[in-house]
Amino acid sequence: MTIESNSIHQTDFKFDRQTNFYRGKVRDVYTVDDQYLIMVASDRISAFDHVLPRPIPCKGQVLNQTAAFFLNATRDVVPNWVHSSPDPNVTIGTFCEPFAIEMVIRGYLTGHAWRTYKSGKRMLCGVPLPDGMKENDRFPTPIITPTTKEDVGHDEDISREEILAKGIVSEADYIQLENYTKALFQRGTEMAKERGLILVDTKYEFGKADNKIYLIDEIHTPDSSRYFYLDGYAERQDNGERQRQLSKEFVREWLMENGFQGKEGQQMPFMPDEFINLVTDRYIELYEKITGLKFERAPEGDLQERIKRNIDSAIGELAG
């Protein structure tokens, strides 16, 4: 079986009572009755705001089931959009009007924050950064560095002050988003520590339905979060060594090694089968390490037919 035939690259379903469809970078999103969202986690993978040309078998299942695990584990912290997960690649929940920002929270100086810091800047999204820090050092307290949500191209950094001045989010709602973001990150940090990990940074998306704020989309997955291994973290920092990461950073590193960072004029490198299989294995490893659960591959066969059948059955139950 080829990689392509054993993957969900995209779906083009038509459901009873379907009222909308949207294809994101990695998810195909269907709306039913203008009331329910059906999110199909495909096996597409993105990096540097580009969707890579070949799918990664099992990636969608890993993301969907990791998100389901953490959404269920944080229901007491913030209400979320999920009703059910009728298929390994599918989540169904309440349709919410999304806020036009992503709430990025960082516990450590790494990734984009480090690149900003290394350039000499000491302000990120209106948040002052302390002097004298090294890459991967822990912030005194986690910082919130929001971004805009762009359908095309790069999400852009934005400050709390700009969000409020532009009326993107009301002040009352934004205060609630900040509180939810901090509480979720605290819970995620505690859960990561139990698994011998450090939750380094992550992002949360929120929406509104019936004037109530809900946590939407995925949380604490390898696509939306970065983890370090807790064991040896302090020693590696003291010795100026690279931290052991549990994230999809290794995909970005492979792309950079092959001359691609999403910049204009750069050619997307070809992804050989060997590398794709390695990415699959790493995603499964991520799932098992982050959740503590054994990954069970969904049955092989006609993946599209299986997903469609399970969603149809779930829609029938919603009608009831």
pLDDT 10s digits, 69-95: 999 999 999 999 999 999 999 999 999
**CATH code, 211:** 3.30.470.20
CB 69 within 8 A of CB 172: no
pLDDT at 320: 53
pLDDT at 249: 79
Q: Which three-class secondary structure state does DSSP give residue 66? A: helix
Residue-wise pLDDT tens digits, 145-178? 999 986 655 679 999 999 999 999 999 999 999 9
Residue 297 domain-assigned (yes or no)? no
Residue 200 one-letter amino acid: V
Domain assignment of residue 190, given as a range: 98-246
Residue 145 domain-assigned (yes or no)? yes
Distance of alpha carbon 86 from alpha carbon 277, whole angstroms: 26
Whether the CA torsion 230, 235, 240, 241 is positive or negative: it is negative
Distance of alpha carbon 179 from alpha carbon 204, whole angstroms: 12
Closest alpha carbon to 200 in 118, 138, 156, 260:
138
pLDDT at 6: 87
pLDDT at residue 222 is higher than 90: no
Residue 187 domain-assigned (yes or no)? yes
Residue 156 domain-assigned (yes or no)? yes
Residue 212 domain-assigned (yes or no)? yes
Residue 150 domain-assigned (yes or no)? yes
At a CB cut-off of 8 Å and minimum separation 6, what does 104 contact?
A: 125, 144, 145, 146, 147, 201, 202, 203
Q: Which three-class secondary structure state does DSSP give residue 60? A: helix
Residue-wise pLDDT tens digits, 180-209? 999 999 999 999 999 999 999 999 999 999
Distance of alpha carbon 24 from alpha carbon 57, whole angstroms: 18
At a CB cut-off of 8 Å and minimum separation 6, what does 302 contact?
A: none
Residue 177 domain-assigned (yes or no)? yes
In this prediction the pTM is 0.90
Count: domains in the chain: 1
pLDDT at residue 134 is higher than 90: yes
Residue 118 one-letter amino acid: K
Distance of alpha carbon 141 from alpha carbon 108, whole angstroms: 9
Residue 209 domain-assigned (yes or no)? yes
Lowest mean pLDDT across 34-38, 153-157, 207-211, 242-246: 153-157
Q: Which three-class secondary structure state does DSSP give residue 38? A: strand
pLDDT at 151: 61
Q: Count Cβ atoms below 10 Å from residue 216 Cβ, excluding itself.
A: 25
Distance of alpha carbon 172 from alpha carbon 156, whole angstroms: 23
- 246 vs 171 pLDDT, higher one: 171
